[in-house]
Amino acid sequence: MALAPSTFVISITPFDAEGRLDEAAFRAHLNRLGKSGIGVYVGGGGSGEGYTLNRAEAKRVMEIAADELKGKVPVRAMGVEPRTAVQMIEFLEMAKASGVEAAQVYSLDVGHAHIPTDDELNAYFSEVLEATDFPCVLSTHQSVGYRISADLVVGLAKRYKHVVGINCTHPDLGYLAAIIDGIAGAIPVHVGGPMQGLTVFAMGGQGYLSSEGNLAPNLCVRVVDCYAKGDMQGMMSAFGKLIRLFTALYGNGGIRATKAVLNHLGMAGGYPRKPRLPIKQDALNRALKVVEQLGIAEIEKW
C-alpha cells in the first residue's frame, strides 16, 4: 500500500518581550495548528529558535506540544544539530519522556566547519539509534555543510526498525531521488521547505516540511490534499500561493517576519529571542501586502 502524502510545520516558539517562553501564546499557536490537520515539529533550530532554548525550556516546549496536540495531529520533536552522539541521545530521552510521538535525529555538527567522515557518521548514527527504541526520523540537511551518503541514510533506515521517516533538505535532486528509490516506499521521505514540495511527489516521496505553516497551515495542507485527490488545478493554485508566501516571509526576515505578521493579525506569534531582533515596520508592511494579495485570510478563515 502506498504511503499517504503529508506535510509538517516546524513550529515557532513564542517568547514575550523580555525573552521568556510564553506558554500561553505557544498553546494558542499549537491549538490553531492542530485545527488545520498539519503535522507539527517543535523546538527546531531554525523556525523554533531551538539554539536559544536551555534544556528545561526545550523539555517544556515538547511537553506543551504533546499536551496540546497528541492524538489530534502528528507531533514530533526536532531539536538542533548535536556535537556528539551523547547530546543526541540525551535529546531523544527527553523527547520520549515529554510525550511527543517521535523525534528527529539531526546531522552531526562537529564544529569549526569540520566535516565528519562516512565512517564517523555511521558510528554516530549507529550509537544514537542503538541507544533508543523511540521512533526516530533521520535528517540529512544542507545547513551542516555536507550531505550524508544516500547509501548510509537508506542503510540506517533499513537496519533500525524504529526509524519512521527521513527528512532530506538538499538542492541536489539526484540525491533526493537516490534516497527515495533506495527506501522504496518503506517509510515516508519529506523534503525541507516547500521549494521541492511538488518535486518530492513526482519522485515518489511523501511531502514537505515548512515554516510557512506557522502562518498558513490550511494552505500547506491544501497542497497535499489536492494532490491526494488528483486535483491538479487546485494543487497548483495552492502551491503557487505557498511559494509566493515563502518568498515574502523569507525576503523580509524569515521567522521574524512570521511572528510579526501573526502579532499584527491578532494571533499568537510572540517575539524573536536574541540574538534575533524584531523586523522593521517597512519589512512588516511588505510581508503584509503579499499576505493580503494572496488572500491568505480567506484560506485560513481568520
pLDDT digits (tens, 9 = 90+) for 2-40: 899 999 999 999 999 999 999 999 999 999 999 999 999
Q: What are the boundaries of each domain within the chain? A: 6-217
Model confidence at 55: pLDDT above 80: yes
Across 221-242, average pLDDT: 98
Contact 138, 107 (CB under 8 A): no
Residue with cell string 543526541: 88
Contact 104, 137 (CB under 8 A): yes
pLDDT of residue 297: 97
> Residue 1: how many CA atoms within 13 Å on its side-chain side?
3
pLDDT digits (tens, 9 = 90+) for 94-143: 999 999 999 999 999 999 999 999 999 999 999 999 999 999 999 999 98
Q: Which CATH architecture has domain 6-217?
A: Alpha-Beta Barrel (3.20)
Classified as helix, coil or strand, 155 is: helix
pLDDT digits (tens, 9 = 90+) for 249-299: 999 999 999 999 999 999 999 999 999 999 999 999 999 999 999 999 999
* Backbone CA torsion sign across 44, 71, 132, 7: negative
Tell which residue, 224, 237, 296, has the closest CA to residue 267.
Answer: 296
Model confidence at 302: pLDDT above 90: no
- Report the alpha-carbon distance of residue 172 to residue 215 in Å, rounded: 28
pLDDT of residue 260: 98
* Backbone CA torsion sign across 191, 221, 231, 194: negative
Full-prediction pTM beyond 0.85? yes
